[in-house]
Amino acid sequence: MTNELEERISIEIESRKEELLDLLKELVRFRTVSPPARNTNDIQHFIQGYLERMNFQTDKWFVYPNDPNVVGLLRGKSPEHYNSLIINGHVDVAEIGDEQEWMSPPFVAQQQGSYIYGRGVADMKGGIAGALIAMKVLQELGVTLHGDLQFQSVIGEEVGEAGTLACIERGYTADFAVVTDTSDLHIQGQGGVITGWIIIESKDIYHDGIRGKMIHAGGGMKGASAIEKMMKIIAGLQELERHWAVTKSYEGFPPGTNTINPAVIEGGRHAAFVADRCALWITVHFYPNEDYEEIVKEIEQHLYAVASADPWLKDNPPKFVWGGKSMIEDRGEIFPSLEIDADHPGTRSLINVYEHLLTETPTIEMSTSVTDGGWFGKANIPAVIFGPGKLEDAHAVNEKLDIQQLVNFTKVLALFIVQWCNTKKGE
């Protein structure tokens, strides 16, 4: 890529700031709040049309009713020899809370000073708008790409519905992926999250009047309250959590970031019964170098050991239901971890473009949140999280995005696309 081409691309994007903001305003107008979800068909139809006008081949399919994914593919001139790239973003946004607390309607994006306000501007319709404008500028300037360029507009990230996983399962892959989610233009990896249900069930059901025979000497009734036995399970989880805090660490994370949160508990029939069932919903955070399948094994092994030391739990051991593809449909989710490889050619290329264009060194770190980026790591597709917006503005009332940061993101992404997709594989 010549200095002349770099300058042309940068100047062109700068001159299209209003077009970029108009596109973001248009994206914000689509009320894609999740939950309740099932409301993204219109915005995905809009994005599909935008991609097709740029000569992308598109694929649209429904992951859930009225919630489709859209993938656009722009074939390179010599894809077998040059690097391919995925640009990924989710179109769903967080709930707005009390609309009266917003200084302006949340789905009518407003510019005030150096910021634009509206639900989703930071998380993450700003990243989508920047990516679309970056690709449009390259197309209109007639820039040749030798490797394939793929844009994934996915659903469900806010509620763990893994639209990105659906793309991977459909066969979409590349040599590198950039998830344009909220990162304040830092280049990030992430830890992971998995939810799970721990269930204790009695083989027998007892009237509340029988309880005395269960708990007093000589009662002769080998029964127990599932709620009370869940207290032992919770204590076991706390022991394991403390053990992890002492024995595990990962650079970039404060000690003890790997947590086991007992989030929701459900149990019992009503007051006339001894509780014969109790279910605990937990949220587990783990480090980037850990896989959720191994984490699940650690927890189960520990709790089976706890149960084996209890006369009743030994015969009524806990059952487990892990993860899920939707917090809405099956009350469970998985966000795999993503280790960032700072020496990977794709990461190095992005760093180089950032340094050259913005004349500063980017921050390379681990996100304190989770995104769909982990699904690329799980699929062995090298990836980073890199997008505009600050995490403290995501999900917030009066969500905002720095306009110049959005412009800078668009420039960096456009130049990175040119550099990466015109680099031979293996170089």
Residue 343 appears among annotated catalytic residues: no
Q: Which of 6, 67, 148, 157 is catalytic?
A: 157
Any residues with CB less than 8 A from the CB of 105 and at least 6 apart, and which? Answer: 99
Find, among 5, 96, 133, the residue nearest to 403 by Cα. 133
Distances (CA, A) of 56 to 21, 135, 177: 22, 10, 18
State which H helix or E strand residue 322 sits in. strand 319-322
DSSP annotation string for 216-258: STT-------HHHHHHHHHHHHHHHHHHHHHH---TTS-TT-S
Please give the DSSP secondary-structure letter assigned to residue 345: H
Residue 163 backbone dihedrals phi, psi, to 5 degrees: -60, -35
Residues 6+ apart with CB under 8 A from 398: 101, 102, 103, 117
123 touches 392 (CB < 8 A) = no
Annotated catalytic residue: which of 92, 123, 372, 393? 92
Q: Which residue has the tokens 């720095």?
A: 402
Phi, psi of 338 (to 5 degrees): -140, 105
Residue 174's Cβ-count burial label (10 Å; 0-12, 13-18, 19+) is: buried
β-sheet bridge partners, residue 219: none
Do 142 and 417 touch, CB atoms closer than 8 A?
A: no
Q: Please say whether the beta carbons of 189 and 125 come within 8 A.
A: no
Residue 157 catalytic? yes
Residue that has been written with the tokens 């100047």 in this structure: 11
Q: Is the dihedral of CA 178, 181, 187, 191 positive or negative?
A: negative
Residues labelled as active-site residues: 92, 157
